[in-house]
């Protein structure tokens, strides 16, 4: 049986004080109905933007209380399907994104999605790379805006968080309080304009509670690779954090010393940018699982 989590009144911050709108059991399959990052407010390329309520940006659906999830556990969220809308919204302008200091007017696009591609122009079709921008659990301390990524997850805007990915998030409060939204039909590493191809989406996931694991979160597994994810005020800080988190995995799941673990990453891992436009910047470190010689599928049980 699949439980549908209605988008209804979304949340704008991940907060231990948020009231759960649904309860799930370990192993349940859930469908989160999600608005786009503008809460579906932009319906054309002109007048609608002037009426945009900026207090309703990056809404997330939830939170969901996961039974059995206790502080110190890890919540594994396997993304099974992203069922997106047929039109993508894009925005950039003054004070937005990397070029905000040079832009003097807004550029808003409403682009059709047809035959597995975004119709960017008559000559350019962009293949779909569907992913979730905002996904996380409640932090233990103060509330964190859904627009800001941090150790709890949140607005990581990592293009690897898509179909077939299992994302591992910390359980900071009882029940984890999982929420998600801000899906993209496509986005490149960096998200330099300040948004991806923003779309409403129905997100099908399965949740699993993992206990007694010393794993630095958030991280993901997809297509035979493990990627640590870190967010910080600067991209430099985030990059160092993601690298150190991966060293932890290498030390734990190989016979390598710390020094040789770093050598391995320097030769075989890829340090990549997720996004550089949010209040915290996000980086990831990717390593094929084959290098973690002591890792087995049993680790996820």
Which tens digit of pLDDT belongs to each residue from 215-255?
A: 999 999 999 999 999 999 999 999 999 999 999 999 999 99
Do residues 181 and 256 both lie within one domain?
Answer: no
Tokens of 36: 């786009």
Q: Which domain holds residue 273?
A: 219-300
Give the model's confidence band at 51: pLDDT under 50 very low, under 70 low, under 90 confident, else very high.
Answer: confident
Do residues 155 and 259 both lie within one domain?
Answer: no
Do residues 30 and 49 both lie within one domain?
Answer: yes
Do residues 223 and 203 both lie within one domain?
Answer: no
Do residues 77 and 201 both lie within one domain?
Answer: yes
Q: Can you give the pLDDT at residue 55?
A: 87
Q: Can you give the pLDDT at residue 47?
A: 63
Do residues 14 and 72 both lie within one domain?
Answer: yes
CATH number of the domain to which 144 belongs: 2.60.120.580
Q: What is the pLDDT of residues 80-123, one digit of tens each?
A: 999 999 999 998 888 888 888 888 888 899 999 999 999 999 99
Percent share of the chain, pLDDT over 70: 99
Do residues 102 and 7 both lie within one domain?
Answer: yes
Q: Who's near 297: CB < 8 A, 6+ residues apart?
A: none
Do residues 58 and 198 both lie within one domain?
Answer: yes
CATH number of the domain to which 287 belongs: 3.10.28.20
Count of structural domains, the chain? 2
Mean pLDDT, the chain, rounded, equals 95
Do residues 191 and 228 both lie within one domain?
Answer: no
The DSSP line for 128-177 is: ---EEEEEE---SSS-EETT--BTTEES---TT-STT-EEEEE--STT--
Do residues 172 and 234 both lie within one domain?
Answer: no
């Amino acid at each position: 049986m699949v439980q549908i989590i209605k988008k209804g009144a979304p949340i704008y911050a991940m907060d231990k004080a948020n009231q759960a709108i649904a309860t799930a059991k370990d192993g349940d399959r859930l469908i989160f109905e999600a608005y786009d990052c503008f809460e579906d407010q932009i319906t054309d390329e002109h007048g609608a933007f002037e009426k945009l309520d900026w207090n309703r940006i990056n809404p997330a659906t939830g939170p969901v209380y996961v039974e059995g999830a206790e502080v110190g556990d890890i919540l594994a969220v396997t993304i099974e399907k992203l069922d997106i809308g047929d039109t993508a919204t894009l925005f950039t302008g003054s004070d937005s994104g990397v070029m905000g200091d040079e832009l003097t007017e807004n550029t808003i696009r409403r682009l059709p999605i047809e035959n597995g591609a975004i119709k960017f122009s008559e000559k350019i079709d962009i293949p779909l790379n569907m992913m979730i921008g905002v996904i996380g659990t409640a932090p233990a301390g103060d509330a964190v805006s859904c627009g800001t990524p941090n150790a709890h997850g949140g607005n990581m805007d990592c293009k690897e968080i898509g179909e077939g990915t299992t994302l591992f998030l910390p359980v900071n409060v009882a029940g984890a309080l999982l929420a998600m939204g801000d899906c993209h039909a496509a986005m490149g590493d960096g998200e330099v304009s300040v948004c991806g191809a923003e779309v409403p989406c129905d997100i099908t996931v399965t949740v699993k509670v993992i206990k007694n694991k010393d794993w630095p979160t958030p991280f993901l597994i997809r297509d035979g690779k493990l990627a640590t994810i870190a967010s910080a005020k600067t991209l430099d800080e985030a990059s160092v954090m993601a690298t150190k988190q991966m060293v932890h995995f290498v030390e734990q799941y190989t016979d390598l010393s710390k020094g040789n673990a770093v050598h391995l990453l320097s030769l075989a891992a890829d340090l990549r940018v997720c996004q550089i436009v949010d209040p915290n910047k996000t980086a990831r470190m990717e390593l094929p699982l084959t290098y973690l010689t002591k890792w087995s599928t049993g680790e996820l049980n």
